[in-house]
Structure 1
């Protein structure tokens, strides 16, 4: 029976969560959405998305299912519709407990999408109390007195302050959440959490009021705090948080939870993220890997030629050295991030980059790439859609929140892929992550992701 049904607001967030679930011994599959809730969003052509007949076949040995949406910065009504469709799908496979995953830096605006999605799911599931826990101590995200820290910095003093889509100009989670939710926002601070699971459970139960709905922001600065929170919230049907909250689950004894099939072959790295950590990773890799940088202006005027030139360049690299790992990326600094004028009819620069990376990925896989790292949530979603991937079986961890997985492309080819959130992963990830694939026990061949 599937123990947990999880809804994530982007592709890399889904794999972040999945790797933490697998780390606790839960056999986990990621399904790439969105479900076909109203006919406006459909799986890639030729692929079976989560809402298609038969898409849930073969989940008999799975402990957790994560549905990856692309809803973090989507219009609020679309994010809500997709999340509700995902919940109905998870209910159909027997899920009784639900996990709403958002970014550990609480990426949102006063309009949403965190608050509206959580409100809608609480109403749908008939729950009146939930928890809000973006803390992920292993990745440097902690909450104290309701304030979110990124490393040693308050959220509004971190690089997230200038995020191009969701600039975070406050660190107080209650203040950030209140404008975007119709629920009452409560706060449970560290002394209550540190008093133990029973004290926390009592504090949560005391928040229930007839006809009311409460979202409680909880302090957490260590993984032990997350364990207390997950134990103390066992009576709740729905929990919400960053991917780190899954590290608080009681571990299952399952030595093979991380086993995946590994297919040797050509390698490549594709980066659409402009986050600070990804830029650091690109700077490190540029000194060690052959690279090409995408230019949005060139893509706008000669898209097909620019993509073809990069694929041809990579093929020439592999022809002379099969061990070569080409790096294709979009930003060295924030100066490379193009803020297009609002209201223009043409594709934005970010959309062009996303589409180019997806097209390059198809060209690389056609050339024989079997192991691929993709950095950035939007880029990861585009790559998977372009390749027709609808399921990912989660495997060995690269670092906190980053994992290798095994998937089948639309054409039936086995692909090992690591999908990285922009701010995650070690600086040397693009040159060292491949080692983890050599340590898994899987053998070459087809994988059913079940």
Structure 2
């Protein structure tokens, strides 16, 4: 078994989809099932959406249980642009797993994301000048990795794959080209916790399994589709606006539900249910005009509770969720803790069967990734 510990659901699903392409049996879960027989067990901790102490607690607990299962490899999936409580989590995991160093390779040239001389770029643009910069929970103010993770507690390094590596600490690997990823795979030893993005994970699987299979033609999706858009990325916001202009049913969160302490209301759920019963795709979204004065936690909590109310009142075949934190909140509310990935519709966009709700398929998509043709509306 190979085990992955991810800090958000979309990242977990992305690696699960990669495993499918290698012919692996994949289980995606919110907690560890010690009896799992999967070839690839992917655990989504949702650690990116909680406080640092809570993130450390979650990572410690999951790492401890997985260590007892003795997988052949444990991989730490982090955000490809380094959002989250990465250092604190990694140090806690090294302690639990009895390892001396971590090798984190977040960049993926296939997606235009590179780390060169410790500077992170997205399609050649410094990270702090991209659309990732104004992230509401983890804003990016510098593209220099060492400056972003400046610490006085334990050493942090940036190295090329040809450099000598330290015996202890956290190493971020420079990556400019795809061959750099494979070169980093060869630097992993028995005292190293490997981690990073999807590109490094793909290189790891390439070193262990036959070549990836060609993507199969997706089966026909269900008729009743509910899109839940919780991402604040400009591309996502623009996609929702385009849906409005194209005549699709877009149900924005009512303004009075965005404020802390807002009373529970079924009004939004009623509007969504009414639209779904017309057998047309429905999009739930947050109007960007009102987002600035609202808490991210409040918004995704209200979104998740409303999705739960909708599913309790009308059948939905396909639940399509954009944004990892939103996806985790929704799954908790609807009582889904285990997913069986069945299709990688596109890079990072994975469709899964909900184990606890057999009639429901759930697709999750990172906010910064493109919609695949199967889910695009126009």
| Superposition TM-score tier, normalisation by shorter sequence | 0.7 to 0.9
Number of the residue aligned with 2:174: 219
8 A contact 1:24–1:247 mirrored in 2: no
SS of residue in 1 equivalent to 2:153? coil
Distance 1:215 1:269 in 2: 38
SS of residue in 1 equivalent to 2:284? strand
Question: Which of these residues, 309, 313, 322, is aligned with residue 274 of structure 2?
Answer: 313
Distance 1:70 1:219 in 2: 26
Question: Which of these residues, 249, 268, 283, is aligned with residue 290 of structure 1?
Answer: 249
Residues 60-71 of structure 1 aligned to structure 2 (within 5 Å): 60=37, 62-71=38-47
Number of the residue aligned with 2:154: 183
Q: How far 1:423 sits from its partner (Å)? A: 1.3
Distance 2:29 2:17 in 1: 14
Number of the residue aligned with 1:267: 225
8 A contact 2:269–2:310 mirrored in 1: no
Q: How far 1:157 sits from its partner (Å)? A: 0.9
SS of residue in 1 equivalent to 2:317? strand
1:278 aligns with 2:236: yes
Give the TM-score normalised by structure 2.
Answer: 0.88
Q: How far 1:12 sits from its partner (Å)? A: 1.4
Change (3 A) 1:115 1:258: farther
Q: How far 1:117 sits from its partner (Å)? A: 0.7
Question: Which of these residues, 122, 125, 130, is aligned with residue 102 of structure 2?
Answer: 130
Number of the residue aligned with 2:298: 352
Number of the residue aligned with 2:203: 248
Number of the residue aligned with 1:413: 358
Give the TM-score normalised by structure 1.
Answer: 0.75
Number of the residue aligned with 2:376: 431
Q: How far 1:227 sits from its partner (Å)? A: 1.9
Question: Which of these residues, 7, 10, 22, is aligned with residue 9 of structure 1?
Answer: 7
Give the RMSD, CA atoms, in angstroms.
2.8
1:179-216 residue CA offsets vs partner (Å, 9 max, x unmatched):
2x733122223xxx3xxxxx56xx33xx22xxxx2211
Distance 1:117 1:418 in 2: 27
Number of the residue aligned with 2:290: 336
SS of residue in 2 equivalent to 1:72? helix
1:77 aligns with 2:24: no
Change (3 A) 1:299 1:157: closer
Q: How far 1:360 sits from its partner (Å)? A: 3.3
Q: Which runs of 5+ in 1 are unaligned?
A: 34-49, 194-198, 319-323, 341-347, 434-450
Runs of 4+ in 1 over 6 A off after TM superposition: 256-263
Number of the residue aligned with 2:340: 393
Number of the residue aligned with 1:422: 367
Change (3 A) 1:178 1:302: closer
Distance 2:126 2:227 in 1: 31
Q: How far 1:73 sits from its partner (Å)? A: 4.1
User: What is the total number of aligned residue pairs between the two structures?
Assistant: 371
8 A contact 1:280–1:427 mirrored in 2: no
Change (3 A) 1:329 1:364: same
Q: How far 1:262 sits from its partner (Å)? A: 7.9
Change (3 A) 1:258 1:359: farther
Change (3 A) 1:5 1:257: farther
8 A contact 1:149–1:171 mirrored in 2: yes
